[in-house]
């Protein structure tokens, strides 16, 4: 099977949908002729022109809320924030308009807007270009939150996201943009709410989010040499969350470690922990552990940045510690 | 014999404008009474004194055009096609309200007639209206959208970003600023050093028109041009309609401290309905008797609407989780 | 001091790139701000300005245009007039400034969010900590977890502790069983539960042959049913098949078979067996099957009707002295009929034990010819296949065969009421050469009586 990078796969998904549906248009800084800072729209401007690949001034609240209005009036906008860090400028309207309009109108107005941007710390991008923040959106009723890791997932999920009538956060960790993997030629979609078991095992369950999946897979191979069989689960979508797959795994292994670059308090791991304790209490052989990035803004200097992020060594040690419990 | 008026409207059209303003007025008066009787929860911001603006602008709109508005949106809702029954029922929290009892006064929705929503957040309407306009153009229609907002919104980032984007992209939207001189209790003169909202248009490159917001014919004429521009692809317009709300910011709030009784009385004397009625009679467009008939008819409609709302059922709590997502 | 011209980082995550073209020549003076060269990065070719003024000196080993090089690689130098280029002097060139990441020794990052573990309260020894999973497992396995020592880091009792305790318990139980060392090893290897086997052996020491028999029985039972021959294809006949065919044809052509059927109310028989099961089972004794009971009662009935225990031989009828009853057993290899000799003289218990042993042998294909000879009457039971009445074929040189159907609840009249009773169909095929319908029917009636009123056996 042919292999694509994450970026190519996501772009192919977007291109396929744009070809089918003329109401889809992309809005963002540099998404026009330039093709997007992260090559999200390369080649599309030549096909569809400025009306559907719309360059914007730096006005995230402005164009995000504008797209909210466009979505409820019958179009399917894609808001390309480049960095999620920029997109949170629109937070007020995202909560009050984007997330609430479907409910307030009793379902008569739909909100088919895709909100995408890069997340995560990489290469000393530092405090204002390294955020994750997805729990903010997990928390507000009305949003779907998608965090793919593989090219296969990127394409299948972006198509589902574009076709969804809900507002969807499509968050792409910069560390996975260069992930390469098999992508079928034939069209396929991945539904929301289906986690992927990326490595099967019996001794411990590791739920990893975004770039942490890359690390967790390395760790699972390393641990196999130590005689530890780890099951690695990539939730792929945080809302809706496939808690059943995680519960089945915990039923098997009895031990759960959640690895998430984002901050621990009220994070995705906290939510998963609460649900697992609620429904699989008697399956637990040890406390549930979370390994998160440190609760600080993202540092610039390399040793500082490295110190705040989970890495394969710390993940492996966390697994060993958990097995001791 | 009827004289021709400045706006070259027929008698029927003029009486329609009069009637529409009266529907808004009587409906709001009913809501004031209901609020005081405890039938309405939460906030109720009445449109009394500003009727000419909603009436004059929406007279040019089709059902498939869009209106976005603010917490003071009853007038826009009624003018766009929400019935008094649906409006009153919504404020009484009933299932028959235009938002099914989910929204109340500040979150009115009726997409079926193009009311894409009123919002409790100031200035959001500016951006949402521009967005709807983007879609109308993308879908190759000649539909337009109107964003209503007040002086309180013009110093918000959304005003700047929204008007700039709409102008840069030439969107078919009309921005209507209802400058009633106060944002809650903050006088406009203290919120900014430039008393003219219309003059800001120049900074963004779109036409800015100042209108006497209490003269329904003047509003009608200015809005007509703005709607024509938008429909023919000439882009957005900023209309500043000078007006005044003669009741407190919201029902239940005191009106003292930030403005004088004299000021209120002065503006009441210049109220839109009073002025238009005088003009209709002076220009012999209608007789007192005809106007009384319209009066009585409107009163009856509002009374019936109030009774309808009172007899309507409450929404079923079992439905409260519906429509958080489009599919569960 | 020579200024180093390096491969610049042109994109955020750029690590490698290439030189495209020099805009100035070696030895040429360059003004700060002039375009010095073009380089290709992640996305596009970019012009690179000189950051200082000076004379451009390109070393002979400078990377060629087009070659992929790391960001930070020195391409050239800008020197002052009369200043030699670093590669021209004897002194070693200054080390290239590299932007390689220093090796980072990362202190283990704390698993943020976990409570300070030192502050855990001391648990009383009488109430050890136990994980919910371990508790659940202990309940399932019947282990008292409160008596266990926990291997968790904090002394918590966890799953592995419970599993270990359960295993040790099993070993203990097995240790109480009398079993030869060879048999124990074989059983462990084959995964046979010695405790269960011991119960069957009624306290006797388990020997190698016992374990072998179980293994063989398992294999035979696990053997798939013989595949049906493919449609349209002729398949060679096995030895057993040939034998069966021969005997069946002989019987059909030689005898004058007639089948009588009746229905017996087996409710009392069923109740009897249930009681036997409840009593004998816990004592470790073999519980008689329905077949065993029917063998016994048939033996009693034959005593009263000796004509059915006869044989046609060269035109003469011989009433046989012994009553040896064969029971048809369906094996993977085909139909086999092991014989229990002298049925009336044996107790039901003895019959049960013998029948079991023979059945195992049959399934393990270890029946000796001796085991299958000398029969005077045959019983065949198709109850397990939900058959009621049928027409069994006489097993020559015998003169009759009893077919037993399934025991099934049916409505029957009992004390003038319609109630469910356990009914069983009995089918008797007899050789009319040897015996007439009347005597045959009377025999069958006796069999029926004995099925319906087992207490009669006591006085038979």
pLDDT at C91 > cutoff 70: no
What is the reported pLDDT for C99?
45
C in contact with B (at least 3 C-beta pairs within 8 A) = no
In the three-class reduction of DSSP (H, G, I as helix; E, B as strand; rest coil), residue B155 is classed as coil
Contact (CB, 8 A) for A121 and A76: no
Q: Are residues C214 and C260 in the same domain?
A: no
- HEC assignment per residue over C225-239: CCCCCCCCCCCCCCH
Asked whether residue C22 is domain-assigned, the answer is: yes
Nearest Cβ partner of B325 from A54, A105, A142? A142
Beta-carbon count within 10 A of A33 CB: 12
CATH number at residue C38: 2.40.50.100
b/e per residue B193-217 (b: at least 16 CB within 10 A): eeeebbebbeebebbbbbbbbbbbb
Token representation of residue C102: 């220093």
**pLDDT greater at residue C55 or residue B328:** C55
* Catalytic positions of A: 60, 129
The domain covering B11-305 belongs, at the CATH homologous superfamily level, to Thiamin diphosphate (ThDP)-binding fold, Pyr/PP domains (3.40.50.970)
A185 burial via Cβ count (<10 Å: 0-12, 13-18, 19+)? exposed
**Shortest Cα–Cα distance, A58 to chain B (Å):** 9
Sign of the CA dihedral B251, B257, B259, B263? positive
Token representation of residue A204: 């411990």
* pLDDT-wise least confident of A106-115, B104-113, B207-216, C164-173: C164-173
Verify cis geometry, omega within 30 degrees of 0, for the bond prior to C397: yes
CB contact residues (below 8 A), chain B span 73-92, against chain A:
none
Asked whether residue C422 is domain-assigned, the answer is: yes
- Contacts with A318 from chain C: Cβ below 8 Å: 111
DSSP lists the bridge partners of residue C234 as none
- Start-to-end CA distance of chain A, whole Å, equals 43
> Rounded to an integer, what is the distance from CA A97 to the centroid of its chain?
22
* pLDDT-wise least confident of C3-17, C126-140, C230-244, C403-417: C230-244
C411 burial via Cβ count (<10 Å: 0-12, 13-18, 19+)? exposed
Asked casually if ipTM beats, i.e. exceeds, 0.95, the reply is: no
Mean pLDDT of chain B: 94
Q: Are residues C291 and C392 in the same domain?
A: yes
C in contact with A (at least 3 C-beta pairs within 8 A) = yes
**pLDDT greater at residue A248 or residue B253:** A248
Please work out, in degrees rounded to the nearest 5, the angle formed at the alpha carbon of residue B61 by the alpha carbons of B60 and B64: 160
A in contact with B (at least 3 C-beta pairs within 8 A) = yes
- pLDDT mean over B239-243: 98
Domains and CATH numbers, chain A: 3-182 (3.40.50.970), 196-324 (3.40.50.920)
DSSP lists the bridge partners of residue A58 as none
Task: Tell me, yes or no, if B66 comes closer than 8 A to chain A by beta carbon.
Answer: yes
- Contacts with C152 from chain A: Cβ below 8 Å: 286, 324-325
Token look-up 């012994």 returns: C322
What is the reported pLDDT for B8?
84
Asked whether residue C159 is domain-assigned, the answer is: no
Contacting chains of A (3 CB pairs or more, <8 Å) are B, C
Q: Are residues C395 and C316 in the same domain?
A: yes
Integer Rg of chain B from CA: 19
Task: Tell me, yes or no, if A68 comes closer than 8 A to chain B by beta carbon.
Answer: yes
Q: Are residues C184 and C316 in the same domain?
A: no
What is the reported pLDDT for C399?
93
Contact (CB, 8 A) for A151 and A9: yes
Asked whether residue C24 is domain-assigned, the answer is: yes
> Residue C110: which residues within 8 A CB-CB, separation 6 or more?
A294
Cβ contacts below 8 Å, chain A against chain C, sum to 83
What is the reported pLDDT for C110?
40
Question: For residue A107, what is the nearest residue in chain B, using CA coordinates?
Answer: B323
pLDDT at C194 > cutoff 80: no
**Does the beta-carbon distance from B326 to A23 stay under 8 Å?**
no
Beta-carbon count within 10 A of A153 CB: 27
pLDDT at C94 > cutoff 60: no
What is the reported pLDDT for C459?
85
CA distance C133 to C141: 12
**Does the beta-carbon distance from A286 to C158 stay under 8 Å?**
yes
pLDDT at C103 > cutoff 50: no
What is the reported pLDDT for A103?
96
Contact (CB, 8 A) for B126 and A10: no
Contact (CB, 8 A) for A114 and A163: no
Nearest to A254 by CA among C48, C130, B233: C130
- pLDDT mean over B147-176: 96
Nearest to A48 by CA among A76, A19, A70, A73: A19
What is the reported pLDDT for C112?
40
Nearest to C412 by CA among C264, C253, C215, C275: C264
Question: For residue A321, what is the nearest residue in chain C, using CA coordinates?
Answer: C153
CA distance C94 to C101: 19
Residue-wise DSSP of C365-428? T---GGGGS--SEEEEE-GGGT--S--PPP-TT-SEEEEEEEEEEEEEEETTEEEEEEEEEEEE
**Does the beta-carbon distance from C158 to A283 stay under 8 Å?**
no
Residue-wise DSSP of C150-218? P-STTS-B-HHHHHHHHHHHHHHHHHHS-B-HHHHHHHHHHT--HHHHHHHTTTPPB-HHHHHHHHHHH
- pLDDT mean over C367-388: 88
CA distance B11 to B1: 11
- What values do phi and psi take at B190, rounded to 5? -95, -20
CA distance B150 to C457: 108
What is the reported pLDDT for B89?
97
Q: Are residues C263 and C403 in the same domain?
A: yes
Asked whether residue C144 is domain-assigned, the answer is: no
Asked whether residue C102 is domain-assigned, the answer is: yes
CA distance C230 to A242: 48
The packing angle between helices A211-225 and A312-324, to 10°, is 60
**Does the beta-carbon distance from C106 to A306 stay under 8 Å?**
yes
Please work out, in degrees rounded to the nearest 5, the angle formed at the alpha carbon of residue B154 by the alpha carbons of B150 and B158: 110
CATH number at residue C415: 3.30.559.10
Task: Tell me, yes or no, if C111 comes closer than 8 A to chain A by beta carbon.
Answer: yes
- Contacts with A113 from chain B: Cβ below 8 Å: none
- Contacts with B169 from chain A: Cβ below 8 Å: 54
Verify cis geometry, omega within 30 degrees of 0, for the bond prior to A293: no
Domain ranges across chain B: 11-305
- pLDDT mean over C258-277: 92
Distances, alpha carbon C74 to alpha carbons A130, C2, C4, C64, in Å: 31, 12, 6, 12
% residues pLDDT > 90 (chain A): 95
What is the reported pLDDT for B257?
81
Q: Are residues C313 and C190 in the same domain?
A: no
What is the reported pLDDT for C119?
46
What is the reported pLDDT for C101?
42
- What values do phi and psi take at C33, rounded to 5? 100, -15
Q: Are residues C340 and C410 in the same domain?
A: yes
Residue pLDDT, tens place only, C215-244: 877 776 665 666 677 788 787 777 667 777
pLDDT at B34 > cutoff 90: yes
Sign of the CA dihedral C374, C379, C384, C387? positive
What is the reported pLDDT for B2?
42
| Residue span of the structural domain in which C202 resides | 177-220
**Shortest Cα–Cα distance, A129 to chain B (Å):** 23
Asked whether residue C132 is domain-assigned, the answer is: no
What is the reported pLDDT for C21?
92
DSSP state of A55: E
Asked whether residue C237 is domain-assigned, the answer is: no
- pLDDT mean over A138-167: 98
Total domains, chain C:
3
Question: For residue C101, what is the nearest residue in chain A, using CA coordinates?
Answer: A302
Nearest Cβ partner of A325 from C13, C136, C152? C152
**Shortest Cα–Cα distance, A254 to chain C (Å):** 7
- Contacts with B116 from chain A: Cβ below 8 Å: 69, 72-73, 109
Residue pLDDT, tens place only, A207-257: 999 999 999 999 999 999 999 999 999 999 999 999 999 999 999 999 999
- pLDDT mean over A272-283: 96
pLDDT at B6 > cutoff 60: no
Contact (CB, 8 A) for C266 and C448: no
A162 burial via Cβ count (<10 Å: 0-12, 13-18, 19+)? buried
pLDDT at C415 > cutoff 70: yes
**pLDDT greater at residue A74 or residue C231:** A74
């Amino acid at each position: 099977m042919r292999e694509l990078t994450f970026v190519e796969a996501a772009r192919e998904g977007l291109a396929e949908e744009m070809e089918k549906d003329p109401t889809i248009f992309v809005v963002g800084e540099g998404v026009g002729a330039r093709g997007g800072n992260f090559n999200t729209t390369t080649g599309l401007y030549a096909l569809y022109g400025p009306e559907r690949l719309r360059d914007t001034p730096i006005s995230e609240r402005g164009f995000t809320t504008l797209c909210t209005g466009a979505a409820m009036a019958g179009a399917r906008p894609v808001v390309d924030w480049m960095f999620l860090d920029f997109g949170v400028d629109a937070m007020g309207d995202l909560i009050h308009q984007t997330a609430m309009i479907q409910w307030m109108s009793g379902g008569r107005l739909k909100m088919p807007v895709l909100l995408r941007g890069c997340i995560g710390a990489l290469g000393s991008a530092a405090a204002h270009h390294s955020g994750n923040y997805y729990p903010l959106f997990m928390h507000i009723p009305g949003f779907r939150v998608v965090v793919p890791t593989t090219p296969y997932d990127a394409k299948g999920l972006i198509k589902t996201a574009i076709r969804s009538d809900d507002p969807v956060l499509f968050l792409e960790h910069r560390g996975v943009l260069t992930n390469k993997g098999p992508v079928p030629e034939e069209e396929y979609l991945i539904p929301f709410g289906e986690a992927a078991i990326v490595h099967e095992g019996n001794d411990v369950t590791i739920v990893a989010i975004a770039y942490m999946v890359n690390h967790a897979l390395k760790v699972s191979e390393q641990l196999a040499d130590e005689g530890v069989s780890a099951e690695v689960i990539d939730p792929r979508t945080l809302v809706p969350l496939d808690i059943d797959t995680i519960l089945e795994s915990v039923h098997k292994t009895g031990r759960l470690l959640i690895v998430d670059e984002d901050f621990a308090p009220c994070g995705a791991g906290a939510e998963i922990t609460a649900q697992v304790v609620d429904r699989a209490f008697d399956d637990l052989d040890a406390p549930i552990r979370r390994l998160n990035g440190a609760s600080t803004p993202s540092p610039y200097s390399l040793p500082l940045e490295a110190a705040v992020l989970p890495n394969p060594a710390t993940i492996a040690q966390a697994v060993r510690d958990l097995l001791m419990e | 014999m009827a004289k021709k008026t400045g706006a070259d409207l027929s008698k029927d059209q003029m009486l329609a404008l009069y009637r529409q303003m009266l529907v808004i007025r009587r409906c709001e008066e009913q809501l004031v009474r209901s609020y005081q009787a405890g039938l309405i929860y939460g906030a109720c911001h009445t449109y009394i004194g500003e009727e000419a603006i909603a009436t004059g602008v929406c007279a040019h709109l089709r059902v498939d055009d869009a209106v976005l508005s603010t917490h003071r949106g009853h007038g826009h809702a009624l003018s766009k096609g929400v019935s008094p029954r649906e409006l009153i029922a919504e404020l009484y929290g009933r299932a028959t309200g235009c938002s099914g009892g989910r929204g109340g006064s500040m979150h009115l929705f009726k997409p079926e007639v193009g009311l894409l929503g009123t919002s409790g957040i100031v200035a959001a309407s500016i951006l949402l209206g521009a967005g709807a306009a983007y879609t109308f153009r993308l879908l190759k229609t000649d539909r337009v959208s109107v964003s209503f907002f007040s002086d309180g919104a013009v110093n918000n980032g959304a005003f700047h970003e929204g008007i700039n984007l709409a102008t840069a992209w030439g969107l078919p939207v009309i921005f209507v600023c209802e400058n009633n001189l106060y944002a809650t209790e903050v006088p406009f003169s203290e919120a900014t050093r430039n008393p003219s909202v219309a003059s800001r248009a120049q900074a963004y490159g779109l036409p800015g028109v100042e209108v006497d917001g209490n003269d329904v014919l003047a509003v009608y004429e200015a809005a007509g041009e703005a709607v024509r521009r938008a429909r023919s692809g000439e882009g957005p317009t900023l209309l500043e309609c000078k007006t005044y709300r003669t009741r407190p910011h919201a029902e239940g709030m005191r009106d003292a401290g930030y403005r004088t009784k004299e000021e209120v009385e002065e503006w009441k004397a210049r109220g839109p309905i009073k002025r238009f009625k005088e003009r209709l009679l002076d220009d012999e467009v209608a007789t007192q008797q005809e106007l009384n008939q319209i009066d009585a008819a409107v009163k009856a409609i509002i009374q019936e609407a109030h009774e309808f709302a009172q007899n309507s059922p409450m929404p079923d709590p079992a439905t409260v989780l519906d429509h958080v997502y489009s599919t569960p | 001091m020579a200024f180093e011209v390096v491969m610049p980082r042109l994109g955020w995550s750029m690590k490698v790139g290439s030189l495209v073209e020099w805009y100035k020549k070696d030895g040429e003076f360059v003004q700060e701000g002039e375009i010095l060269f073009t380089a290709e990065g992640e996305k596009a070719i970019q012009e690179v300005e000189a950051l200082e003024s000076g004379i451009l000196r390109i070393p002979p080993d400078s990377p060629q245009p087009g070659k992929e090089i790391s960001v930070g690689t020195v391409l050239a130098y800008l020197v002052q007039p009369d200043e030699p280029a670093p590669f021209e002097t004897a002194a070693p060139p200054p080390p290239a400034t590299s932007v390689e990441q220093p090796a980072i020794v990362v202190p283990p990052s704390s698993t943020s969010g976990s409570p300070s573990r030192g502050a855990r309260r001391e648990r009383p020894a009488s109430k050890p900590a136990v994980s919910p999973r371990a508790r659940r497992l202990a309940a399932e396995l019947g282990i008292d977890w409160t008596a266990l020592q926990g291997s968790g880091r904090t002394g918590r009792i966890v799953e592995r502790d419970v599993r270990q305790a359960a295993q040790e318990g099993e070993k203990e139980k097995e240790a109480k069983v009398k079993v030869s060392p060879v048999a124990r090893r074989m059983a462990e290897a084959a995964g046979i539960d010695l405790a269960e086997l011991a119960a069957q052996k009624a306290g006797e020491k388990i020997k190698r042959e016992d374990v072998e028999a179980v293994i063989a029985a398992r294999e035979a039972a696990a053997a798939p049913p013989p595949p049906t021959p493919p449609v349209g294809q002729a398949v060679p006949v096995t030895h057993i098949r040939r034998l069966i065919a021969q005997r069946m044809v002989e019987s059909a052509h030689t005898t004058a078979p007639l089948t009588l059927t009746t229905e017996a109310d087996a409710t009392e028989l069923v109740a009897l067996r249930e009681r036997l099961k409840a009593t004998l089972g816990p004592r470790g004794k073999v519980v008689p099957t329905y077949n065993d009971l029917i063998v016994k009662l048939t033996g009693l009935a034959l005593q009263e009707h000796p004509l059915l225990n006869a044989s046609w031989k060269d035109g003469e009828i011989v009433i046989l002295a012994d009553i040896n009853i064969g029971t048809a057993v369906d094996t993977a290899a085909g139909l086999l009929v092991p014989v229990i000799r002298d049925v009336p003289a044996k107790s039901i218990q003895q019959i049960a034990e013998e029948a079991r042993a023979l059945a195992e042998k049959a399934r393990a294909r270890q029946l000796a010819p001796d085991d299958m000879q000398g029969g005077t009457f045959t019983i065949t039971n198709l109850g397990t296949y939900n058959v009621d009445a049928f027409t069994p074929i006489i097993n020559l040189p015998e003169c009759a065969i009893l077919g037993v159907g399934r025991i099934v609840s049916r409505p029957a009249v009992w004390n003038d009421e319609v109630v469910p009773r356990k009914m069983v169909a009995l089918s008797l095929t007899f050789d009319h050469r040897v015996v007439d319908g009347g005597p045959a029917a009377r025999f069958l009636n006796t069999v029926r009586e004995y099925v319906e009123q087992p207490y009669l056996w006591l006085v038979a």
